[in-house]
Amino acid sequence: MSTESRTLTGERALGPGTRLQFLPGIGPARARLFERLGISTLEHLLRHYPRTYLDVRRFVTVKDLKPGEPVTVRGTVKSAAAVRTRAGRTDFSATLGDGTGVLACYFFGQGFLARTLRPGTPVVVSGEIDGLERRMLNPMFEASEADVEELLNVGRMVPVHALTAGLTARVMRRAVRAALDAAADRVADPVPEGTGSAPGPMTLGEALRQIHFPADDAGLAAARRRLVFEELFLLQTVLELRRRALGEADRTFVRAGRGLLAGRAVEALPWPLTGDQCRALDEIVADLKRPIPMHRMLLGDVGSGKTVVAYLAALHVIESGHPVAFMTPTEILSRQHGETLTRLARAVGIPIAVLTASTPAAERREIADRLRGGEALIAIGTHALIEAKIEIPTLGLAIVDEQHRFGVRQRARLAQKGGIPDLLVLTATPIPRTLTLACFGDLDVSTLRARPPGRGRLVTRIAGEEKFPQVLEFMAGEIAAGRQAYVVVPMIEETGRLSVRAAEAEFERLRAQPALRAFRIELLHGRLKPSECRAVMDEFAAGRVQALVATTVIEVGVDVPNATLMVVENADRFGLTQLHQLRGRVGRGAHRSVCVLIAGPDAGPRGRERLEVLARLDDGFAIAEEDLRLRGPGELWGTRQSGLPRLKLADLSRDEALLEEAREAARETVGGDPHLLGSANAALRSALLLNYAEPLEFALTG
């Protein structure tokens, strides 16, 4: 698809779509190096924005050089020599004079510079003086009389681009410069003319020039703004298209009944709903009655009682005659919710079906048939199971427990299954608004702040491994008093087997303790067969197992109110939010509970300090904020898996205002041309199809 053609004089006319190898100075061999960075055309190269900049705009004379300041010096090469090191490497050493003094420069592994930087050559170098040796190590340089305007590698804000082996920064900068000159002004601007005021007056071509080689701070800021806006605008347009595709389809049925079932169910609950639960339910039901699909998050700290709210919402939908899918991240949770809801639903006589990997094939087929036939039942299972195997053409409501494992893609997939179901997402971790905007376009939120009453106190202690005997003694005491305990060992990244072994070792260690000998201890980890998992959990829930040694399979949602002790080994290996989730497994009953976080041998003072955050805070929202600060939003939300495209320039913690403006602009654009068929939106349309092909199929083929 290359667009190069020949001019009358036989020269190749370069354009944004031209393959890189035709750029002067590149050629096929270098083009292959660029390919490794995903760059095959001039436009790709122009969109390969610098990662950062080295600011070496300050020119100084040699006599004014001070160590540790990035500066630029202009002079003439005085002496130069290749230096062969004992390691067999050839370095290059040179001195440069400017009439005020002499500066020593040293280039590791760059003996070939002897050919360029000969004595007498005018040269400009940029870098920092090494305080100890009083010389510049590996300075950037330009060997020419070039006037300041044309300097690419020195004396300016020097762009630092991502590179790959064999491709030097100098080659990269020269290629970018050439591509800018050849094609920057002809890159099609995906932002339609007259869109908002946010992008500013700078043209796309100028923005590309300034982002790579900023003339000054203002130029860089304006370029960044222009390109960040473009990036966010594209993303928001995708979300807006999807929102409309989901919302436009007429609802052919109302998804909420009159609330008789839910009313009966509330009366049958063993306790009254809290005020927050009532309010959240009202908000959800109001959504269910509206003609556009609900997209709501139910946000409530661990133990705040989200499940029952979801259950009551489900009953409203069931009453209207539609099935409900309740999706959980793990099998354990599916089964647990299955048991909870079966118990609760007995009062109203509603069928609950639990689908797990261990559901016998015949039973699964039967449930699948009922769902396909549109029977109004609540089907509980893991995402994988419900998304992949089961057709629910009249699905009324999809409930997703624990948001962070469920993203944009999954939602789109659900929506395509048949009709557009309402979506209710249950989560304990608040998402920063910028992230919801970026991921979902928008999302309504209901919050459970107050916890249900009647809970015992929950205290958190931090201890070193040396306190193990005391922890053991305490555990024995709790168990003797009729309580139960969890001991959790961390999942070790990428080596699932190791954590299984760690869990096994811990299990053996506890079983060998005389103080615990009289009690039943069991082991739970992800390598067990589902049936074994289930057996262990059942015994624990029934109180016949007193202590459970587990990997993080129990992290989310497990609810055994009689458990009062949570011991987390090597706690410093967990994220704060995850620890808060683990801690939330206790403190669910009337008894006082304790969570002991044991810092691992290599936790160090910083690791322990991090754990102190948990001892200090018991509010999950505050902890999530702290976690966000420590780890960044991507980590916290697994946005990589959740389908949020990698943003090249935008920084969600800084660019919130631009994000809002981009959203407004996207709404306007899509509002005026829902399938982007107008000529003003042609470049936008093709940019979207290029970058977001998959999620857009259903939005743009209208």
d(CA 555, CA 453): 23
Q: How far is the CB of 576 from ligand ADP (least distance, A)?
A: 17
Q: How far apart are CA 17 and CA 33, in angstroms?
A: 18
Size of the residue set binding ligand ADP (CB under 6 A) = 17
Among Mg ion, ligand ADP, none, the one that 300 touches (CB under a kind-dependent 5 to 8 A) is: ligand ADP
Residue 242 or 337: the one with the smaller Cβ distance to ligand ADP is: 337
Q: Taking CB positions, which residue lies at the least distance from ligand ADP?
A: 305
- Selected binder of ligand ADP within 62, 83, 273, 528 (CB under 6 A): 273
The DSSP-derived string for 273-332 is PPHHHHHHHHHHHHHHHSSS--EEEEEE-TTS-HHHHHHHHHHHHHHTT--EEEEESSHH
Tell me the backbone φ, ψ of residue 55, rounded to 5 degrees: -90, 100
The per-residue b/e assignment along 463-500, b for 16 or more CB within 10 angstroms, e otherwise, is: beeeebeebbebbbebbeeebbbbbbbbbbeeeeeebb
Segment near ligand ADP (CB under 6 A), from 18-26, 305-313, 676-684, 694-702? 305-313
Rounded to the nearest 5 degrees, what angle is found at the Cα of 60, between the Cα atoms of 58 and 64? 130
DSSP 583-632: HTTSS-SSS-EEEEEEEPTT-HHHHHHHHHHHHH---HHHHHHHHHHHH-
Q: Give the integer Cα–Cα distance in Å for 643 and 242.
A: 13
271 lines the binding site for ligand ADP (CB under 6 A): yes
- Pick the closer one to Mg ion by CB: 276 or 572: 276
Nearer to ligand ADP, 246 or 380 (CB): 380
**Of the listed pieces 345-353, 363-371, 554-562, 607-615, which binds ligand ADP according to CB under 6 A?**
554-562
Q: Which stretch binds ligand ADP (CB under 6 A): 60-68, 302-310, 316-324, 409-417?
A: 302-310
DSSP symbol at 456: P
- Distance separating alpha carbons of residues 304 and 429, to the nearest angstrom: 12
CB of residue 276 to ligand ADP, shortest distance in Å? 9
Taking each continuous run of H as one helix and of E as one strand, the counts in the chain are: 24, 23
Q: Tell me if residue 129 falls in helix, strand or coil.
A: strand
**Cα-Cα end-to-end distance for the chain:** 27
**Binder of ligand ADP out of 101, 351, 452, 674 (CB under 6 A):** 452
Among 33, 302, 437, 545, binds ligand ADP (CB under 6 A): 302
Which CB sits closer to ligand ADP, 426 or 500? 426
Is the CB of residue 334 less than 8 Å from the CB of residue 302?
no
Nearer to ligand ADP, 237 or 382 (CB): 382
Site string for ligand ADP, 222-261 (x = CB under 6 A): ----------------------------------------
456 binds ligand ADP per the rule CB under 6 A: no
Q: Is 339 in the site for ligand ADP (CB under 6 A)?
A: no
Residue 273: name its binding partner from ligand ADP, Mg ion, none (Cβ under 5 to 8 Å by kind): ligand ADP
Task: Work out how close the CB of 584 gets to Mg ion at its nearest, in angstroms, rounded to a whole number.
Answer: 9
Alpha-carbon gap, residue 414 to 325, rounded angstroms: 10
Geometric angle at alpha carbon 219, from 218 and 225, rounded to 5°: 90
Which residue in 286, 617, 621 sits closest to 450, CA to CA?
621
From residue 537 to residue 576, what is the string marking binding to Mg ion with x (rule CB under 5 A)?
Answer: --------------------x-------------------
Instruction: Tell me the window of 199-207, 297-305, 381-389, 474-482 that interacts with ligand ADP (CB under 6 A).
Output: 297-305
User: Which span sits near ligand ADP by CB under 6 A: 165-173, 300-308, 489-497, 672-680?
Assistant: 300-308
Site string for ligand ADP, 580-599 (x = CB under 6 A): --------x-----------
3-state secondary structure (DSSP) of residue 220: helix
- CA distances (Å), origin 170, targets 93, 148, 436: 19, 17, 40
Binding site for ligand ADP (CB under 6 A): 271, 273-274, 277, 300, 302-308, 452, 557, 559, 561, 588
Binding residues for Mg ion, rule: CB under 5 A, are 557
